[in-house]
Structure 1
Amino acid sequence: MVKVTVWNENRHEQKNPVVRDIYPNGIHGAIAEFLKEDSHEVTTATLDEPKHGLTDEVLDNTEVLVWWGHLAHGEVKDEIVQKVRQRVLDGMGLIVLHSGHFSKIFKTLMGTSCDLKWREADEKERLWVISPSHPIVEGISEYIELEKEEMYGEHFDIPQPDELIFTSWFEGGEVFRSGCTYKRGSGKVFYFRPGHETYPTYHNKDIQRVISNAVKWAAPVKRERPVYGNAKPLEVIQGDKNKKQH
């Protein structure tokens, strides 16, 4: 069991009846539901809560943070972004979904623009598994096919991924690196592309399986964190002993 916080800006659900019909409990509610079914301990947080729902207490009790945002990246306070960044460096896992590629936290951790091509045209997406032995794709066949999704296309302005898990092909011809892992400090980051708000992507069992697998993969390693700064020697240094004799 992993302690998970699912964060969602929760704006589309309030503005768009199509999104509200697909996700009556919000995108965060839908994700939380299937993660709970997989025996994770799950809480949710949204943009309009005090401190965006990401208080020190919440972050300290979060092993993996799942992030979905789109309309309101700029409204996320920099002080919260820095706290999330530090928690990742200290070992918390981070899963960034779909349009979260433009979130402040993902861009901060990547150090690039994270820009891309996009098109909303109700086209088929086929996510091909590139790393079949990776734990994130446990239980997934050669590819996941989505009948309708928003297109994201290369070039995706991100650092070279540590591991490429999925590559997407779209009906219009584009391809995209749609499942990428990174290590940042003691923490692990997974970017997963599908999840446009007007499609029922998070009701797809394979997509749910990938996210749940990613939660397990991104969970912190149980060990003491590295100690930094000036360090005393573990052994007697010969040169130092000679100095004392003189």
Structure 2
Amino acid sequence: MSDPLRVTVWNEFRHERERDDVKAVYPDGIHAELARGLAAPDLTIRTATLDEPEHGLTEDVLESTDVLTWWGHMAHGEVSDAIVSRVQNRVLAGMGLVVLHSGHEAKIFQRLMGTTCSLLWREAGEREILWNLAPHHPVTAGIGDCIELPEAEMYGERFDIPEPETLLFVSNFQGGNVFRSGAIWTRGNGRIVYFRPGHETYPMYRNAQILRVVGNAVRWTAPRAPLSLPASKNDNPRIAIPGYEQPEEYRTEA
């Protein structure tokens, strides 16, 4: 029997403390709700929040994390660049990253995507249908044709992201907008999933289908081998090729 996956659920935990309407939906914080909703024998789950020392993402925490989920909204700019680099290196080494809802503006997501990750939005409590475009993918397992949400914040195109390796979901909203609501990328040895649902005043993380997708994403992004950084160009052995002189910037010390 394999060891449980080590999951760290990260959340700003600001809205829930500062706004009564959010506290009414998530009194213990979005991170706590997610941790409860994802609880399973094959997962060991802990939480971390923005205002903890090092945002709760110390080197020891990240070194013992197989998959990190990320929810942020109002304080993206307060996340330390040094911590972003620490998380980025861990993803490149093979740690999974599951970015939720407004985490599209998180520094770590923007850095890994290399784009602004901007989008259109409208907070109007619209009906949303997320259509399952990849029914045989492990992240969408058990979902069926679609997920219907009676009230959701509208996210709309154009979503400034690089072309996904797999597009999992596309949403259509009552107001007519469409949005790529689930997508996958690989960076280095790490897998990344973006999944749109999760607004702070709608109880998305009590929805069984939403939690099913997040749980599937956690399991799918888990490292497939011991975590290790991809070799840099200077770590590669020198190869002698007749008639070829290696460029100076690729040479290593003798």
TM-score above 0.5, yes or no: yes
Question: How far did residue 231 of structure 1 move?
Answer: 3.8
Report the AA paired with residue 39 of structure 2: K
Change (3 A) 1:78 1:232: closer
Equivalent residues in 2 for 1:59-138, closer than 5 Å: 59-138=62-141
Checking the alignment, whether the CA contact within 8 Å between 1:118 and 1:151 is kept in structure 2 is yes
Equivalent residues in 2 for 1:78-227, closer than 5 Å: 78-223=81-226, 225=228, 226-227=230-231
- Shifted more, 38-47 versus 103-112: the winner is 38-47
- CA distance in 2 between counterparts of 1:38 and 1:208 reads 15
Checking the alignment, whether the CA contact within 8 Å between 1:119 and 1:151 is kept in structure 2 is yes
Superposition TM-score, scaled by structure 1 size: 0.93
Q: Percent identity, please.
A: 55
Question: How far did residue 98 of structure 1 move?
Answer: 0.3
- CA distance in 2 between counterparts of 1:96 and 1:108 reads 13
- CA distance in 1 between counterparts of 2:148 and 2:105 reads 24
Question: How far did residue 121 of structure 1 move?
Answer: 0.5
Question: How far did residue 82 of structure 1 move?
Answer: 0.5
Superposition TM-score, scaled by structure 2 size: 0.90
Question: How far did residue 64 of structure 1 move?
Answer: 0.3
Instruction: Give ranges in structure 1 of 5+ residues lacking alignment.
Output: 241-246
The SS at the match of 2:225 is coil
Pair 1:17 & 2:33 matched? no
Question: How far did residue 227 of structure 1 move?
Answer: 3.7
Aligned to 1:45: 48
- CA distance in 2 between counterparts of 1:181 and 1:100 reads 15
Equivalent residues in 2 for 1:227-238, closer than 5 Å: 227-228=231-232, 229-232=234-237
Change (3 A) 1:55 1:172: same
The SS at the match of 2:172 is strand
Report the AA paired with residue 98 of structure 1: H
Question: How far did residue 22 of structure 1 move?
Answer: 1.2
- CA distance in 1 between counterparts of 2:165 and 2:117 reads 16
Cα RMSD for the two superposed structures: 1.6
Question: How far did residue 24 of structure 1 move?
Answer: 1.6
Question: How far did residue 20 of structure 1 move?
Answer: 1.1
- CA distance in 1 between counterparts of 2:25 and 2:111 reads 31
Report the AA paired with residue 154 of structure 1: E
Aligned to 1:29: 32
- CA distance in 2 between counterparts of 1:52 and 1:168 reads 32
Aligned to 1:54: 57
Question: How far did residue 233 of structure 1 move?
Answer: 6.8
Instruction: Give ranges in structure 2 of 5+ residues lacking alignment.
Output: 244-254
- Shifted more, 172-181 versus 37-46: the winner is 37-46
Q: Across the two proteins, how many residue pairs are aligned to each other? A: 238
Change (3 A) 1:25 1:39: farther
Question: How far did residue 224 of structure 1 move?
Answer: 7.1
Report the AA paired with residue 32 of structure 2: G
